[in-house]
Structures are given as C-alpha cells and as structure tokens.
Amino acid sequence: MKQKIALFCNVCEDAVVEALDVQSIYEVPLMYKNDGLDDLILNFLQLSSKKGDLKDWKDRVVNVLKNPAAACRIAVVGKYITLQDAYKSIYEALVHGGIANAARVEIVKIDSEDVKAHKTSALFCGVDGILVPGGFGYRGIEGKINAIEFARKEGIPYFGICLGMQTAVIEFARNACVLKGANSTEFDPKTPYPVISLLEEQKSVRIKGASMRLGAYPCRLAPASSAHAAYRRSLISERHRHRYEFNRDFKKIMEKRGLRIAGASPSGELVEIVELKDHPWFVAVQFHPEFKSRPDGAHPLFREFIRAAIENR
C-alpha cells in the first residue's frame, strides 16, 4: 500500500505516514512517532536532534486517559452548546484536569435555556460539578443563574469563567443579599442594583472593542483562598476578553453575606476572582484560564475543580 501511494504521489516510500483512527487525540503524537514522522522531518530539513521516546507523554497523558483511577461528571452550562467547537478549549481543559487527577471526566452539555424551562434538580442529577463558561448577550442568562443557584445551595463544586463569574455575582446578589432585580448593565441598563457594570472611564466609549480588557493582566491572590491554594503563589497573570466588571459599590454587602474577593488587580480596583467561604469549592474568575491549560500541565484551577468534583461524588 505504501509503495503504491509513494509511486503515484511521487514521494519516497518513507514519506508515506499512517494516520490511523485513535481513541484520543493525545495518542496521535505516539502514532506519528512510531511511524517515523519526526525523523522524516528532521532529515528533510537537515536538522539534528537528540533522540526522544515520548515515554513521559505516554505515561503521564495517554496511559492515564486509558486507565483512569477515578471518574466524575461535569455539567457545562452554556448558550452555544449545540455548536460542537464553541467551548472546545473548556472541554479540553476539563480533560487536562482529569489527567492531573488520574480521572476520566464525563462532560454533560446543558443548554442554559433548558435550565430555565425544566426542573433544575432533574437536569443536574448525578452531576459532580458545574461549570458556566463565557459568552455575550442576554439569551440564556437566567438559566445560567438558576444553575449557579443550584450549585451554591446544593454544595456542588462550581467553576465560573468570565460571564460565569458575572452571573455568579448576580445570583449571589439576588438570592443571598436579597437585592431584588440585581443584574449587569449589559442585560438591564436600568437595574436598581448594577452589581456588574462598566467602569466610569468606559461609559463614554462607544466602540465596544475599545472598552474591552484584552490580553494578560496581573492578579494578586488573597491568602488562604481556594485560588491561592491552587496556584501556590500570590501573584499570577491571566488572559482576559470582556467589557463589564464587578461593581465595587456592592463589595461590602456581598462580603458580609459570605462572598470573598479572592483575587484582584494589584491596585485593588478590579475584582478578578470571587469565592464562597462556606462551600466545598466555589470559584469564579473574570479571566480565561482554559487558554493556558495543557494535557501534561493542567491549569491549577481546572486541576483543583476536578479534584473537588471527585471528592464530591
């Protein structure tokens, strides 16, 4: 077969490399290695390199995926669930968190609009953790808030990312702080309690892109917080893509009711991470940690979220 392909494609036989179906995408490097693709490329480019056997990758990633010691089910509640690749980086980061805990992660995809239309307890039956990812626009927001309320009250590990943090703040303001009608000014410009809003200097900006926080920003973590325990350091840097921020006018009342500011900009002006004190694991971040997660190096927050979900089974 290789001889025939080489003849009719006008390449040498060694340059025909198999790409067989595999159980996990993370097996692909091993398959290409076994078929000599690395040597082929090095020879073609006349490069030299020390020999590698990918043993560490096989042991720490592929074998763990194939032979997990534990398992958990994570519900991802989003408005773009029907689009296969909309949350691809989130799904892979959850798998990375599973690898770090020698666990298989089963992802349960839940449309946030269904959460509002159906009984919450039925939708999340058998779920060990709930994650609400980022997004824009009002559609599906109330369903996300319902899901977060369920996680908060039932003691289910919760991880909020970007909009998942903002909706967590809205839910806490409405139901724990009894601020009826609390919302983000993105969804309700006339809300009596704008717990999420634009910064004053952003309000005069009319072009949306110009008011976004984009790229890496530093964040200082609070001691004894879940975030600090995950990162194991006090100062971090994470990637952002959003416009609206936590409104610090409501900081005191929320802290009084049990919300903790676990991470903020070095100046203290911008809230980056919120947590709940009396909860097994409830962490919501304004940034996108999934972009820095790797199969052989899970992001600390995904690693600890999956660890909490396993313990919650």
**Exactly one of 242, 279, 288, 299 is catalytic; which is it?**
288
- Residue 211 confidence (pLDDT) above 70: no
Mean pLDDT of 131-152: 94
Q: pLDDT (tens digit, 9 = 90+) per residue, 82-131?
A: 998 999 999 999 999 999 999 999 999 999 999 976 778 889 999 999 99
pLDDT at site 294 = 97
Name residue 198's amino acid: L
| Alpha-carbon distances, residue 18 vs 6, 42, 57, 254, 267 (angstroms) | 12, 18, 20, 58, 54
**Exactly one of 177, 290, 299, 304 is catalytic; which is it?**
290
According to CATH, the topology of domain 70-204+245-254+280-312 is: Rossmann fold (3.40.50)
Count of other CB atoms within 10 angstroms of residue 275:
22
User: Would you kindly state where each structural domain of the chain is located, as residue ranges?
Assistant: 2-61, 70-204+245-254+280-312
pLDDT at site 119 = 76
- Residue 31 confidence (pLDDT) above 60: yes
pLDDT at site 53 = 87
Give the residue among 145, 90, 87, 157 at the shortest CA–CA distance from 120.
Answer: 145
Q: pLDDT (tens digit, 9 = 90+) per residue, 35-62?
A: 999 999 999 999 998 888 899 999 999 9
Q: Known catalytic residue: 162?
A: yes
Q: Known catalytic residue: 288?
A: yes
pLDDT at site 207 = 55
CA distance 47 to 302: 37
Q: CA 72, 164, 289, 28: dihedral to nearest 10 degrees?
A: 50
Q: Known catalytic residue: 9?
A: no
Count of other CB atoms within 10 angstroms of residue 96:
24
Give the residue among 285, 311, 313, 278 at the shortest CA–CA distance from 300.
Answer: 285
